[in-house]
Protein backbone atom coordinates (compact mmCIF):
# COMPACT_ATOMS: atom_id res chain seq x y z
CA UNK A 1 0.00 0.00 0.00
CA UNK A 2 1.30 3.43 -0.89
CA UNK A 3 1.42 6.11 1.77
CA UNK A 4 -1.30 8.63 0.96
CA UNK A 5 -0.98 11.03 3.89
CA UNK A 6 1.67 12.01 6.43
CA UNK A 7 1.74 9.92 9.58
CA UNK A 8 1.01 11.92 12.76
CA UNK A 9 3.67 11.84 15.46
CA UNK A 10 4.42 13.67 18.69
CA UNK A 11 7.65 14.80 20.30
CA UNK A 12 8.17 16.35 23.71
CA UNK A 13 10.95 18.60 24.91
CA UNK A 14 11.06 17.37 28.48
CA UNK A 15 12.65 20.02 30.68
CA UNK A 16 14.55 18.69 33.66
CA UNK A 17 17.06 20.19 36.07
CA UNK A 18 20.20 20.62 34.01
CA UNK A 19 18.72 20.44 30.53
CA UNK A 20 16.41 18.44 28.30
CA UNK A 21 15.79 14.73 27.93
CA UNK A 22 17.07 12.97 24.81
CA UNK A 23 16.87 9.28 23.96
CA UNK A 24 19.40 7.24 21.99
CA UNK A 25 17.41 5.30 19.41
CA UNK A 26 17.62 1.51 19.34
CA UNK A 27 16.33 1.41 15.73
CA UNK A 28 17.14 3.20 12.48
CA UNK A 29 17.83 5.99 12.13
CA UNK A 30 20.38 5.62 14.91
CA UNK A 31 21.31 8.62 17.02
CA UNK A 32 19.83 10.87 19.68
CA UNK A 33 16.29 12.21 19.49
CA UNK A 34 13.60 13.94 21.45
CA UNK A 35 11.35 11.35 23.03
CA UNK A 36 8.18 10.77 21.05
CA UNK A 37 6.55 8.57 18.48
CA UNK A 38 3.53 7.73 16.39
CA UNK A 39 -0.02 8.67 17.34
CA UNK A 40 -2.25 5.61 17.43
CA UNK A 41 -5.64 5.47 15.69
CA UNK A 42 -8.29 6.96 17.98
CA UNK A 43 -5.71 8.68 20.21
CA UNK A 44 -5.39 12.39 20.94
CA UNK A 45 -1.94 13.89 20.35
CA UNK A 46 -1.77 14.93 24.02
CA UNK A 47 -2.45 11.36 25.14
CA UNK A 48 0.11 10.03 22.65
CA UNK A 49 2.74 12.45 23.98
CA UNK A 50 2.23 11.36 27.60
CA UNK A 51 2.21 7.67 26.57
CA UNK A 52 5.35 7.92 24.43
CA UNK A 53 7.31 9.71 27.17
CA UNK A 54 6.34 7.03 29.69
CA UNK A 55 7.27 4.23 27.27
CA UNK A 56 10.64 5.68 26.25
CA UNK A 57 11.83 7.31 29.49
CA UNK A 58 9.75 5.95 32.37
CA UNK A 59 8.72 9.52 33.19
CA UNK A 60 5.26 10.87 33.88
CA UNK A 61 5.25 14.14 31.95
CA UNK A 62 3.09 17.21 32.47
CA UNK A 63 2.56 18.97 29.16
CA UNK A 64 2.95 22.73 29.52
CA UNK A 65 2.54 24.18 26.06
CA UNK A 66 2.65 23.53 22.34
CA UNK A 67 5.85 24.68 20.61
CA UNK A 68 4.98 24.10 16.95
CA UNK A 69 3.93 21.56 14.30
CA UNK A 70 6.72 20.40 11.96
CA UNK A 71 5.73 18.83 8.65
CA UNK A 72 8.63 19.00 6.20
CA UNK A 73 8.24 15.85 4.05
CA UNK A 74 12.00 15.21 4.47
CA UNK A 75 11.98 15.44 8.31
CA UNK A 76 11.96 11.63 8.71
CA UNK A 77 13.94 9.46 6.26
CA UNK A 78 11.54 6.52 6.77
CA UNK A 79 8.33 8.19 5.60
CA UNK A 80 6.46 11.48 5.50
CA UNK A 81 5.48 12.40 9.06
CA UNK A 82 4.28 15.49 10.81
CA UNK A 83 4.99 16.06 14.46
CA UNK A 84 3.22 18.05 17.12
CA UNK A 85 5.91 19.25 19.53
CA UNK A 86 5.05 19.91 23.16
CA UNK A 87 7.09 21.30 26.02
CA UNK A 88 6.72 19.48 29.31
CA UNK A 89 8.22 18.83 32.72
CA UNK A 90 8.76 15.56 34.52
CA UNK A 91 10.24 14.41 37.79
CA UNK A 92 11.32 10.99 38.92
CA UNK A 93 13.87 8.45 37.78
CA UNK A 94 14.82 8.50 34.12
CA UNK A 95 15.26 5.10 32.46
CA UNK A 96 15.34 4.03 28.84
CA UNK A 97 12.54 1.80 27.65
CA UNK A 98 10.63 0.67 24.56
CA UNK A 99 12.74 1.55 21.49
CA UNK A 100 15.16 3.79 23.43
CA UNK A 101 18.59 2.28 24.11
CA UNK A 102 19.47 5.11 26.51
CA UNK A 103 17.83 8.20 28.01
CA UNK A 104 19.72 11.12 29.52
CA UNK A 105 19.45 14.79 30.41
CA UNK A 106 21.72 17.03 28.35
CA UNK A 107 22.47 20.72 28.86
CA UNK A 108 21.61 22.74 25.76
CA UNK A 109 25.28 23.70 25.38
CA UNK A 110 26.47 20.06 25.43
CA UNK A 111 24.15 18.07 23.17
CA UNK A 112 25.23 14.65 21.88
CA UNK A 113 25.79 13.73 18.25
CA UNK A 114 24.25 12.77 15.98
CA UNK A 115 20.81 14.20 16.59
CA UNK A 116 18.41 12.56 14.14
CA UNK A 117 15.34 13.60 12.19
CA UNK A 118 14.82 17.39 12.31
CA UNK A 119 15.28 17.44 16.07
CA UNK A 120 18.33 19.76 15.95
CA UNK A 121 16.07 22.34 14.25
CA UNK A 122 13.34 21.76 16.83
CA UNK A 123 15.84 22.19 19.68
CA UNK A 124 17.13 25.39 18.09
CA UNK A 125 13.56 26.69 17.84
CA UNK A 126 13.10 25.74 21.52
CA UNK A 127 16.22 27.75 22.48
CA UNK A 128 14.85 30.76 20.63
CA UNK A 129 11.45 30.35 22.29
CA UNK A 130 13.02 30.13 25.76
CA UNK A 131 15.17 33.22 25.18
CA UNK A 132 12.67 35.46 23.37
CA UNK A 133 9.21 33.88 23.67
CA UNK A 134 9.01 33.68 19.87
CA UNK A 135 7.66 30.49 18.36
CA UNK A 136 8.60 29.44 14.82
CA UNK A 137 7.05 31.57 12.08
CA UNK A 138 4.76 29.45 9.85
CA UNK A 139 5.32 31.74 6.87
CA UNK A 140 9.08 31.09 7.08
CA UNK A 141 8.44 27.43 6.21
CA UNK A 142 6.66 28.54 3.04
CA UNK A 143 9.80 30.42 1.92
CA UNK A 144 12.05 27.33 2.17
- In order of 25, 37, 58, 69, 101, the CA distances from 49 in angstroms are 17, 8, 13, 13, 19
Q: Measure the CA angle with vertex 40, ends 38 and 42; round to 5°.
A: 145
Q: Which CATH number fits domain 7-136: 1.10.275.10, 3.30.1490.20, 3.90.79.10, 3.40.50.1820?
A: 3.90.79.10
Worst-scoring range by mean pLDDT, 1-15, 41-55, 99-113?
A: 1-15
Q: How far apart are CA 13 and CA 118, in angstroms?
A: 13
Q: How far apart are CA 14 and CA 92, in angstroms?
A: 12
DSSP state letter for 73: T
Domain boundaries, the chain: 7-136
**Full-model pTM:** 0.94
Q: What is the pLDDT of residues 76-92, one digit of tens each?
A: 989 999 999 999 999 88
Q: What is residue 144's three-state secondary structure?
A: coil
DSSP state letter for 63: E
Amino acid sequence: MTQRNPYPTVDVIVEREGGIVLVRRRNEPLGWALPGGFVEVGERVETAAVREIAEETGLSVRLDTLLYVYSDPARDPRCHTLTVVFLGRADGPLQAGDDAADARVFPLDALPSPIVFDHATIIEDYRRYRSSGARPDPSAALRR
